[in-house]
Structure 1
Amino acid sequence: MLISLNWLKQYIDLDGIEISELENALTMIGQEVEKIDVKGENLEKVVTAKIVEKEMHPDSDHLTICKVDNGKEILQIVCGAPNHKAGDKVALAQIGARLAEDFVIKKGKIRGVESSGMLCSEEELGLGSDSSGIMILPEDAPVGMPLKEYLGVNDVVFELEITPNRPDCLSHIGIARELGAYYNKEVNYPSTEINGETSEKTEDNIKVEIENSDLSKRYVARIIKNVTVKESPAWLKERVESIGIRSINNIVDASNFVMMEMNQPNHTFDFDKIAGSKISVRSARENEKLITLDEEERDLATDDIVISDAEKVVALGGVMGGKNSQITENTKNVLLEVAHFNPINIRRTSRRLALISDSSYRFERRVDRSNAINVINRLANLIQEVAGGEILAGAVDVYPEPYNRRVATLSFEKLHRFVGKVIPKEEVIRILTKLEVEVKDNGDSLTLTAPTYRDDLENEQDYFEEVIRMYGFDNIENILPRLDINPKAITDTTRLYDKVKVIASQAGLKEVINYSFVPRDAMDKIKFTKVPRKNLIDLPRPITEDFATLRPTLIYSLLKNAKDNMNKNVSNIRFFEASRTFEKGEELASEETKLAFILAGENDKTLWNAKPVPYDFYDLKGIVQEIFTKLGFKNYQIKRSAATELHPGRSADVFVGRELIGSFGEIHPDVLENFDLNKKAVLVAEFSIDLIKKYIGRKTVYEPLVKFPAVPRDFAFVVKEDVLVGDILKAIEKVDKKIEKVELFDVYRGVGVLPGMKSVAISVILRDKNKTLEEKEIVEISNKIVNKVKKDFDGILRQ
């Protein structure tokens, strides 16, 4: 935000305050100064001059050779501008001048002709945005006077970094208010009383309707007739150009001036181009288009707020006007608009169209709709001053939702404890009153009503900040507070959470940390139905639609991570996240800590000559069991999954009794298609850490290392396709106490195995803790395993 010191002085007396002191004051009250531009610094050795002669360059069809009088001598200057003639008064940068873009003028030759200086445009001198030709001065301009002295250029422009919570400071009056409170000075507001109205009424000439108050909570219109559109007077042109806005004409410049003065975007229409004497604020309809003031044709979306007359769209509300209703030199009657528009819609539109204007920037950060009448009256007065015309009586004010001012209570005891010193009560009241807060003194506390333009003042702590920054941080002594340090005990939940992350890392998974927010349609995209839509927590005013809902599952975020990495040619994805999920409770939100992980792509083999193999269900299951084992989580059952986000035949649920702990398996094909991953192997698992904690055994029993050797045996059983491998493994584990470990290591379908059947290869580790197993014992246990699988699953030992 650019703030002109000369402009600022219209509203507050800053005489006697040095630029460096003002810079420090602005920074101390939270308006950080990014840059200071002292106007005229680059005008040394630039003087007023007169073109005595002009002739064409012998070696160019666009360059001219000018004889220029600088008041002391006649210089030869080669010029490339098209807009000059003999007798013109001009700005001459002499040898040694350093212009706005750090360009030093030197004597030289241009296409063989010597040039001893440069005739400059407004842009080259840093005095405006016009670069179409050199700067032509009035006929009565003296010759040889320093240009800085002639123009009276003595302004200082501050570039401020305004934080998003302080949109009221995106204006000269907003900054004047801040400095008024800091320096205890009065702020002089411009008059908002209409200078004079005709008997003809605005309401008899225009009707206004707001179709949906969610789009606009106020729309005010006024009309001025019989204006004269022309170049702005020098003072107005200088004001807008001092902060980098190109001067267009007196009407448009007045509109921009008021926006930068009062932080209220506004718009001016050629009233004679408004069909049907009607203005509607509505959503754009499908296939509507608008050519905006920048002469670009825009395809409108239903999220866009538009201003329409009885026939057509005439403006993109809060972003940019339409070319079909713009002010031109032929305009005679002007319709003024001051309105409020929904910040979310404005942000969507400006981002979608890559069209960020001064208006959209302010509407995105919310403007003070309560001040609309004052703003439109100020604009009407200013237009009448610079363009003439008659202001019609009254305004049309459609105001469906008046603003309710926020009320809070400030405790002096809490303030003093927060600050670390006692700030006199009178000083606190003075500061808040200067900030235009309505103050009611209750003795040991204050009841505070925030001004309508301070939407950020919500609670007591916000007012503490206001008092401190205006009192001065440098007035508060650096005294370390005395605090009793009571180390917080580490809870079992925290220990488990940390342990889960360590174990997941040991399993070869890489941790990711995602935002807790997802798009509103995220659960539909992943077919997640464990939490009903009505129980999802939507944010009322999300920063962006990507952050609209608190996530009830970690799966969506992990799928996004996988998609992003695959787009960058990462072929082996092994991510995990341990974080909280959210859903609505009976009164407050319900939070649950979960662990989720994802495998995608191909499993890199460690041997140099081994080929990568796509991840499958058993890779995932192995990691699940490894994590559960290291956590000491036992006595769970694995069953076929009913999770809608997972593949119905390649997924499983984990239960303890009837309580669902979590699910794992391949992602459903429809979900993969939604993420454009339909040709990839993607598997996920998600479990409740809170529920796992509930069932983990608390006691750890020491077991000495077994001295006797283990005996490995492998079996391959042919079973029906619908037989669950997990059931086979559990059945084998119960065959004999000497069975130490049972693992699946292969599933085969193909030559040698009948259709509808599968070959399941299982590794079994046998061990006796007290002695070495004999061969007959090994054979006996092996036979029992074969018979158990035969009996329970009709499985045949594959030969």
Structure 2
Amino acid sequence: MKVSLNWLKVYIDLEDITVEQIVDKLTFAGLEIEEVIDQAKIYENIVVGYVKEKKKHPNADKLSLCIVNDGSRDYSVVCGAPNVAEGQKVPLAKIGAVIPSNGLKIEKVKLRGEVSEGMICSEKELEISDNHEGIMALDSSLEPGTPFSKVMNLDDVVLDIAITPNRADALSHIGIARDLAALFDKKLKLPEIKLDETGEESAKYASVEIIDPENCPRYVAKVVLNVEVKESPDWLKKRIESIGLRPINNVVDVTNFVLYEVGQPLHAFDLDKLAGKKIVVKKAHEGEKFVTLDSKERILSEADLMICDAERPVAIAGVMGGENSEVTPETKNILIESAFFNPSSVRKTAKRLGLQTDASYRFERGADYNIAVWAARRAAQLIAMTAGGNACKSEIDAYPKPFPTKNVELRYERIKRILGYDVDKETVKKIFINLGFGLSESAESLKLEVPSYRHDIEREIDLIEEVARIYGYDKIPEVEKISVTLEEKVDQSESNDTVRNLLNALGFYEILTNSLLREELAKEYGNPLGVLNPQSAEMSHLRPSLIPGMLQAISNNIKVNEKNLQLFEIGKVFEKINDVINSFEDFRESEHLILGLTGNAIEDEWYEKERKFDFYDLKGFTAAFLNKFLPGAEFDVKRLDSDKFEYGMEILLDGQVIALGGKLKDDLLKPFEIEQDVYASVFYLDKIKSIQRGAPEFKELLKFPKVYRDFAFVLDKEIEAGEVIKVIRNASSNLLHHIKLFDIFQSESLGMDKKSLAFRLEYYDKSRTLTEEEVDKEFRRAIKAVEEKFNAKLRGS
């Protein structure tokens, strides 16, 4: 949420407090500042300039050579705008300034042979408007040298704050100001409502009926008559523009202003468009259609709460109003809605419709049911001020069953026991007074009345957390001694850290993808487990595979022209075993690792040509990882026929499959708009981690020579090289240390169903030099074993 510092200063005195102090205090209090936008820095080195002289550029017909003064010295500026004139006050970007619209840094340059020491700017270049037909002319009364940000009231600082779901009270300027009041021990200043109410009461012009009080416990309506809907005054436009909102008209802008001021969503209806001048709060009919303010038709469910008039729906409660009752320039009479809706009801409707608004965002987290009347009166005050309307007396307050006041006791000794340090009793009292809590005290405790905007305060431990965050985590005293146990503990993350380190060393980058998929996609990879209350149709099922997430990440990268990728992810996958889920035995949860390769393995350079990743790159990375993670283990690699891989492999250890991979089929890539080959390996980490890992051993450098022997066999083309290697190894002694397949050859001269496999065998002994006789004996034994097992023929014999 964006918060304007100038706006905050309306509610709390911050003159003696720096932006850095505010950022630090709020962050340590649990309101993390994600970005600080200082408008003064955006317009740094841009000042009011006075055009003392203008003459034609000697070397260019369309350029002017101007002398511009900034109050202290003259600058020579080359300008191409047709409307620049002697005697004007203009925005002058001096050397070092950065133009907001394009990031151009102003430097001293020569343009067509003439020195230019700055730039006279247009409104578009300064992001004031879209006008770029000429330079921006300023008020002639302005003093040269005055900062442009000050002239345009663009000296605000905007804080982008990450609000946690439990802190709905902080979703407004007053909410943030309240926390600052507690953090800096300042007084919170709430706006005074001076409302000149005239004529009859609101109840004469409208009525409210709540048919579903469970989902709408309170509905406040206030009528304002004879308004003039028009453009908002500058002060109101600047307030809402400062936080990134677009001004619409004075009535709508007021409702947005109050929303961001106090956190209460409001809606303004054209009273004359409400049939029967009546508001009815009830459930929608199944399949009912409704057009919202964004001009989209929505299909409603009987679970959706609607705001209706005497004949039809006019708004989706807590989410968005309808086109049939919106405020237009012809509107004369307004009904202001200020209600409290059940957070669960709003959340389900907003998620089902895929429609999140500023209002639903707040109602989902729990608005303040006690602020409804104040907010309606505040909006009526501002509408009367900006639209010239007459606010009717009192409000219609439909509140059939008021919420009870919540009281929680806080024991002083409990604070010390939980936090481990003393907090002065007066400090504790002051914290809660500044936060708006009512209190009564005894010698041992405080009885606190929890304000209605703090839904998150339920128990004593919640109050202690408030003390800790406001008092300051930085004030926790240092402890000179701390007791620790020497008992050995298992680090559950150690294995995954090892995996990450190994893959980082192999050049892979880690990704984290969503564990939720849409149903159709999830079903392509297994029997997925559905979510009871999905956030959207796109996130309705738990993933049965890591492949879709990998493909989405690859697709996203390709779209920003990152086409050469080595990626990996460690994550949980879920698969349904039984159709009805009654216990953990009805579904399977397991941990997988996926590697993904796509694009070029080698870029095109002057010394070598580019080469794309292929199956053997994937196989090499897969083997390298397993050999490092499970040193000394003997793996079997077999060909894999799969509906996911165009050609693939599966890797076995002691008879069980621990990984599989290959080139992904094009049908899997099409939904992600991937048009280049993708290779992937999936590892069953649960199985791999269960295998006893041997400790790495130091191997002394070999002191004696190795002996190599090569041979090639012609055999049936269906026979896999791995089977041949296994036979060679079984027929050999421990003098054979390595077998390498270095050539595969197929030709009509060998036979249509034949192929040639060539191997290199490596022999040595760590303690002595081998003789030719013993190596030849080993070699002949290997040849004989292959010939007998596969009916193979030794080539060259």
Query: In the alignment, is residue 624 of structure 1 matched against residue 626 of structure 2?
Result: no
Structural mapping, 1:259-270, within 5 Å: 259-270=259-270
What is the match of residue 514 of structure 1? 511
Would the alpha carbon gap of residues 621 and 468 (structure 1) be closer, same or farther in structure 2, given more than 3 Å must change?
Answer: closer
Query: In the alignment, is residue 744 of structure 1 matched against residue 745 of structure 2?
Result: no
**Structure 1: how far apart are the matches of 2:463 and 2:434?**
13
Would the alpha carbon gap of residues 460 and 784 (structure 1) be closer, same or farther in structure 2, given more than 3 Å must change?
Answer: farther
For the residue of structure 1 that corresponds to 2:595, the secondary structure is strand
Structural mapping, 1:108-257, within 5 Å: 159=158, 161-165=160-164, 166-171=167-172, 173-175=174-176, 177-178=178-179, 181=182, 183=185, 197=201, 202-203=206-207, 220=219, 222=221, 224=223, 227-230=225-228, 240=236, 243-244=239-240, 251-252=251-252, 254-257=254-257
Unaligned runs of 5+ in 2: 41-47, 49-68, 73-81, 92-122, 140-152, 576-582
Would the alpha carbon gap of residues 607 and 783 (structure 1) be closer, same or farther in structure 2, given more than 3 Å must change?
Answer: farther
What is the match of residue 337 of structure 2? 337
Structural mapping, 1:662-673, within 5 Å: 662-673=659-670
**Structure 1: how far apart are the matches of 2:170 and 2:318?**
19
Would the alpha carbon gap of residues 488 and 411 (structure 1) be closer, same or farther in structure 2, given more than 3 Å must change?
Answer: farther
Query: In the alignment, is residue 634 of structure 1 matched against residue 633 of structure 2?
Result: yes
**Structure 1: how far apart are the matches of 2:442 and 2:748?**
90
Query: In the alignment, is residue 650 of structure 1 matched against residue 660 of structure 2?
Result: no
Q: 1:652: Cα distance to partner? A: 0.8
What is the match of residue 599 of structure 2? 601
What is the match of residue 105 of structure 2? none
Q: 1:582: Cα distance to partner? A: 6.3
Query: In the alignment, is residue 370 of structure 1 matched against residue 366 of structure 2?
Result: no
For the residue of structure 1 that corresponds to 2:738, the secondary structure is strand
**Structure 2: how far apart are the matches of 1:322 and 1:606?**
58
For the residue of structure 2 that corresponds to 1:745, the secondary structure is strand
Letter in 2 for 1:2: S
Q: 1:726 aligns with which of 687, 698, 722?
A: 722
**Structure 2: how far apart are the matches of 1:651 and 1:244?**
59
Q: 1:156: Cα distance to partner? A: 11
For the residue of structure 1 that corresponds to 2:377, the secondary structure is helix
Structural mapping, 1:377-396, within 5 Å: 377-378=376-377, 382=381, 387-388=389-390, 390=392, 394=396
Query: In the alignment, is residue 686 of structure 1 matched against residue 683 of structure 2?
Result: yes
Would the alpha carbon gap of residues 798 and 613 (structure 1) be closer, same or farther in structure 2, given more than 3 Å must change?
Answer: farther
Would the alpha carbon gap of residues 453 and 715 (structure 1) be closer, same or farther in structure 2, given more than 3 Å must change?
Answer: farther
Q: 2:528 aligns with which of 508, 524, 533?
A: 533
Structural mapping, 1:573-584, within 5 Å: 573-577=565-569, 579=570, 581=572
Unaligned runs of 5+ in 1: 38-44, 46-94, 99-108, 137-153
For the residue of structure 2 that corresponds to 1:20, the secondary structure is coil
Question: What value does the CA root-mean-square deviation take over the aligned residues?
Answer: 6.2
Q: 1:682: Cα distance to partner? A: 1.5
**Structure 2: how far apart are the matches of 1:719 and 1:312?**
78
Contact 1:598 1:682 (C-alpha < 8 Å) held by counterparts: yes
Contact 1:3 1:172 (C-alpha < 8 Å) held by counterparts: no
What is the match of residue 327 of structure 1? 327
Contact 2:594 2:680 (C-alpha < 8 Å) held by counterparts: no
Q: 1:282: Cα distance to partner? A: 6.7
Letter in 1 for 2:623: Q
Would the alpha carbon gap of residues 705 and 591 (structure 1) be closer, same or farther in structure 2, given more than 3 Å must change?
Answer: farther
**Structure 1: how far apart are the matches of 2:71 and 2:265?**
39
**Structure 2: how far apart are the matches of 1:264 and 1:392?**
19
Q: 1:575: Cα distance to partner? A: 3.9
Contact 2:729 2:736 (C-alpha < 8 Å) held by counterparts: yes
User: In the TM superposition, what whole-angstrom CA distance separates every residue of 1:621-675 from its partner, at most 9, and x where no partner exists?
Assistant: 343334434432425544555876545x522142434x54333333344323333
For the residue of structure 2 that corresponds to 1:378, the secondary structure is helix
Letter in 2 for 1:581: K
Would the alpha carbon gap of residues 676 and 495 (structure 1) be closer, same or farther in structure 2, given more than 3 Å must change?
Answer: same
User: In the TM superposition, what whole-angstrom CA distance separates every residue of 1:420-455 from its partner, at most 9, and x where no partner exists?
Assistant: 742233542442254244779798777877544335
Structural mapping, 1:474-623, within 5 Å: 476=475, 482-483=481-482, 500-501=499-500, 503-504=502-503, 509-515=506-512, 517-521=514-518, 524=521, 527-529=524-526, 533-534=528-529, 555-567=547-559, 573-577=565-569, 579=570, 581=572, 586=584, 595-604=593-602, 614-623=612-621
Contact 1:571 1:601 (C-alpha < 8 Å) held by counterparts: yes
What is the match of residue 67 of structure 1? none
Q: 1:328: Cα distance to partner? A: 3.9
**Structure 2: how far apart are the matches of 1:759 and 1:448?**
86
Would the alpha carbon gap of residues 223 and 160 (structure 1) be closer, same or farther in structure 2, given more than 3 Å must change?
Answer: same
Structural mapping, 1:399-438, within 5 Å: 412=412, 415-416=415-416, 421-437=421-437
**Structure 2: how far apart are the matches of 1:545 and 1:404?**
37
Contact 1:641 1:652 (C-alpha < 8 Å) held by counterparts: yes
Query: In the alignment, is residue 711 of structure 1 matched against residue 712 of structure 2?
Result: no
**Structure 1: how far apart are the matches of 2:370 and 2:194?**
10
Contact 1:368 1:453 (C-alpha < 8 Å) held by counterparts: yes
Would the alpha carbon gap of residues 167 and 597 (structure 1) be closer, same or farther in structure 2, given more than 3 Å must change?
Answer: same
Say which is worse superposed, 706-715 or 461-470, in terms of deviation.
Answer: 461-470
Would the alpha carbon gap of residues 495 and 780 (structure 1) be closer, same or farther in structure 2, given more than 3 Å must change?
Answer: same
Contact 1:194 1:380 (C-alpha < 8 Å) held by counterparts: no
Would the alpha carbon gap of residues 453 and 199 (structure 1) be closer, same or farther in structure 2, given more than 3 Å must change?
Answer: closer
Q: 1:229: Cα distance to partner? A: 1.2
What is the match of residue 763 of structure 1? 760
**Structure 1: how far apart are the matches of 2:157 and 2:769?**
87
Letter in 2 for 1:726: G
**Structure 1: how far apart are the matches of 2:486 and 2:604?**
45
Contact 1:718 1:758 (C-alpha < 8 Å) held by counterparts: yes
Would the alpha carbon gap of residues 454 and 546 (structure 1) be closer, same or farther in structure 2, given more than 3 Å must change?
Answer: farther
- Give the TM-score normalised by structure 2: 0.63
What is the match of residue 4 of structure 2? 2
**Structure 2: how far apart are the matches of 1:615 and 1:96?**
60
